[in-house]
A and B are shown apart, each in its own frame.
Chain A
């Protein structure tokens, strides 16, 4: 964003779609240490404040007849609770707070990222990969804790012919290990691409001839991105539930 104002005066037409993803210290310039408060800190904090407002402040009356905001919070609660119960099974419900944490964090980060001048924390692979690895290791540990070594029997497809089983086991193990990769790249890639395209359209709006087209395109992409923000949060969450089912459900594969 800063780059656009300091763009080289040469052609007068320059688009820097990737500048919106730069991590910056909140206190102007300086090195980014692991503890430095950055725009990552700021926008994660804003996401937390939004969630706090919706889920704590709006529900403080504990109304039997809910206020509007309380019913919004209840809708999210019911939606994710049902998803965990239906997808991961009855035993998965005790992991509902973890799933809810992931869902709300991703959803609010996605939506806040759509505000102009904001920073999209979930467009960074570092963030989504951490989330996906948390799910991956969490699910694996839960599975081993609940089923012991029996957890690994899900790689041994007992319904297949015996000769095929070792081959299938290799494929199953590879697909299991690749889960966090697809899990994280899907989320970050969707947001990264959408926001970059949005920026490109916005950049073209500075050319008078095509600016109406570019603005219409940006509006369309923005609408699409709102949808993507919800859908990607949903997809990440439901995949978490599907993975959780492997760990807590019956090992029917």
Chain B
């Protein structure tokens, strides 16, 4: 970088014949007033745009958003509390209902048991009554049957004796049959 030619050049030339830079363009004092002037213009315009329009607007939007978010969060918190309360109430109601249901079930069970006991007792009584009755009948039938057997045996024996040509008196036949039946 030849900075010497720039210093040797007459003031007002920072560019050589080919349009190339002589030395550092940053050090060319000819251009500085121009740069500073336009920088000042740009900064003033930019400052006015920002401070009058852009920054208040963005600040307001951010504040509004923050407010909205805070409000929404508060509302959400409230709703959450309500939800918790509702859940609590629901659980309480559920527990009460369960207890009541258990009570009802127990009462129903007791009723049924009572009815059942009564019915069972009645049935038992009936069954035992019927059983004794039946036993009596069976005994009667058995006695009847024994008698019938004796009668049938006597008659049969008499007939058999008669048929075989013998005469048998009823008494000896009866005695024989009785002896047989006992044996």
Query: A221 interface residue, CB < 8 Å from B?
Result: no
6 residue pairs from A and B, CB less than 8 Å apart: A3-B21, A19-B21, A22-B25, A97-B47, A98-B47, A130-B40
Cβ B31 vs Cβ A51 within 8 A: no
| A247 on interface, CB distance cutoff 8 Å | no
| Complex contact A3–B20 (CB within 8 A) | yes
- Evaluate whether A66 and B61 lie within 8 angstroms (CB atoms) in the complex, with A16-B21, A34-B33, A101-B50 already known: yes
Q: What bracket does the count of chain A residues touching chain B fall in? A: 35 or more
Stretch binding the partner chain, chosen from B62-70, B103-111, B112-120, B124-132? B62-70
**List of B residues within 8 angstroms of A48 by Cβ:** 42, 45-46, 49
Give me the 9 closest cross-chain CB pairs, A-B, nearest first: A3-B20, A34-B33, A55-B54, A21-B25, A23-B31, A97-B51, A44-B42, A126-B32, A18-B21
Which A residues are CB-close (under 8 A) to B42? 44-45, 47-48, 105
Contact with B along A135-160 (1 / 0, CB 8 A): 00000000000000000000000000
Binding site for A on B (CB under 8 A): 1, 12, 14-15, 18-21, 23-28, 30-43, 45-47, 49-51, 53-55, 57-62, 64-65, 68
* Apart from A31-B12, A105-B43: 11 A-B pairs, beta carbons within 8 A: A18-B21, A22-B25, A32-B31, A34-B37, A44-B39, A51-B49, A64-B61, A74-B62, A97-B50, A101-B46, A101-B47
A53 → B minimal CB distance (Å): 11
